[in-house]
A and B are shown apart, each in its own frame.
Chain A
Amino acid sequence: MKINNPAIAGTLESSDCLVTVEPGTGSVELDLESVVIHQYGHQIKKVVMETLKRMEVEDVQVHIIDKGALDCTIKARVECAIFRTANQTKNLPWGGAIR
């Protein structure tokens, strides 16, 4: 998927994360702030990169402020932000690129 517009998903509430995506500069750039970065920073980055790979997003800037979100929430927020950039809300690939 190509990222043409910026988009945001999520919140700054506990157990959630706020994901911002913007058009990239030729690769995937990930910037992470997290209340648990020392314990789970590596795992969060892994989940984000795997999610972007599944969605075939190769050129994007991603900024995440994490408030202790589980993997399932991080995936949900990244997917939401990416599909918002494409303005796609119907016929989504549940169980395909979204899994």
Chain B
Amino acid sequence: MNRNKKRLRRSMMFLNAQKPGLIIDPYIYKPDSIMLDLEDAVAIREKDAARYSLFHALREIDYRGVERVVRINGLDSEFWQEDIRCAVAGGADAIRIPKAERAGDIKVVEDAVAAAEKEFGVEDGRTLIMAALESARGVMNAMEICDSSERLFGIALSGGDYTKDLQTTISGTGVEMMGARQHMIIAARAAGVQCFDTVFTNLEDMEGFRKEVETIHTMGFDGKSIINPRQISIVHDIYTPKPKDIMFAEKVVREIDEKKAQGIGVFTVDGKMIDIAFYGGAKRTIELAKASGVYKGDL
């Protein structure tokens, strides 16, 4: 398995690949991933220009460890095959497929990515894939999409198009996306891939943004798509384990390891009943703390 498949992806920041001013130094804001967009942000007449810009940015700019994902144009367009050749040749870490609706969509892209890796001498399997679900059908087929490819690291909800397909609008309450979010996170977890939430477009409502991030964090999402650097610190703050959570997780892991050796299955930590079912969650908290750079312990 590609070792980057499970990397930390709390924040995925969209950037128009056609705009040099945006793509030359986004790493200064320290998002976990950048989403270099060849699709909606780029006007039809500039699709070609965006690719040259993307290729040289990928090859020549040191993004300092920030993951570089490329959003290609839709499979119903005339652009996506060349988008993939360009992105893979440039060394993109992953391809985001817009408007994915079925496992076959992922397979088509997987084949094109594999062919491009071979054509440009890129290590087989290096380029990962993620799928954006933007329609009722896509959301309903989340499970088959999650299971479709070894390269697929996750799925993302695209709220604008999805709500249009539902024949509603984004209300600010999240009610209209509740079902999709719940369905997608369950499918992603069942398949062992990551799940990402849609963008929050009202930059004047930072409190609303924080509440939405808290909600999706509680639901189990791995991260959120973002459109402005101002949103990054809020996402990271909510996703970074707090010192008390890390201390509790350490105690749980140590106690379970110790009690297991003694043949004890159920015990208490800080007054809470603990058994082996808590082990995975505690380990995840410590791994997240490590990935977020806040873990000082020795587990």
Counting contact residues on chain A (CB < 8 A from B), the size range is 20 to 34
* Chain B residue contacts of A90, Cβ below 8 A: 81-82
State in angstroms the CA–CA spacing of A9 and B18 once bound together.
11
Judging by beta carbons under 8 Å apart, are A95 and B89 in contact?
A: yes
State in angstroms the CA–CA spacing of A73 and B53 once bound together.
6
State in angstroms the CA–CA spacing of A79 and B59 once bound together.
15
State in angstroms the CA–CA spacing of A5 and B284 once bound together.
59
CB distance from A86 to the nearest CB of B (A): 11
Judging by beta carbons under 8 Å apart, are B48 and A10 in contact?
A: no
- Binary CB contact string for chain B from 74 to 94 against chain A (1 if under 8 A, 0 otherwise): 000000011001100110000
Judging by beta carbons under 8 Å apart, are B82 and A92 in contact?
A: yes
Top 8 A-B pairs, shortest CB-CB distance = A94-B89, A72-B56, A76-B52, A15-B21, A73-B20, A72-B60, A15-B20, A76-B53
A to B CB contacts below 8 Å, 8 in the list: A69-B20, A70-B20, A72-B60, A73-B20, A73-B56, A77-B49, A80-B48, A94-B90
Judging by beta carbons under 8 Å apart, are A94 and B53 in contact?
A: no
Interface residues contributed by chain B, number (CB under 8 Å): 23
Judging by beta carbons under 8 Å apart, are A71 and B86 in contact?
A: no
Interface check B136, CB cutoff 8 A: no
* Chain B residue contacts of A77, Cβ below 8 A: 49, 52
State in angstroms the CA–CA spacing of A26 and B117 once bound together.
39
Q: Considering the complex, which residues of chain A in the window 49-99 have a beta carbon less than 8 Å from any beta carbon of chain B?
A: 69-73, 75-77, 79-80, 83-84, 89-92, 94-95, 98-99
* Chain A residue contacts of B51, Cβ below 8 A: 92
* Chain B residue contacts of A71, Cβ below 8 A: 60
State in angstroms the CA–CA spacing of A69 and B24 once bound together.
10
State in angstroms the CA–CA spacing of A21 and B226 once bound together.
37
Q: Enumerate chain B interface residues (CB-CB to A < 8 A).
A: 19-21, 24, 47-49, 51-53, 55-57, 59-61, 81-82, 85-86, 89-90, 120
CB distance from B151 to the nearest CB of A (A): 20
Extra inter-chain contacts (17) besides given A16-B21, A73-B56, CB under 8 Å = A13-B19, A13-B20, A15-B21, A71-B60, A72-B59, A72-B61, A75-B56, A76-B20, A76-B52, A77-B52, A80-B48, A80-B52, A84-B48, A91-B85, A92-B85, A92-B86, A94-B86
Known contacts: A15-B24, A72-B59. The answer to whether A98 contacts B52 by CB under 8 A is yes
Judging by beta carbons under 8 Å apart, are B57 and A72 in contact?
A: yes
* Chain B residue contacts of A80, Cβ below 8 A: 48-49, 52
CB distance from B204 to the nearest CB of A (A): 25
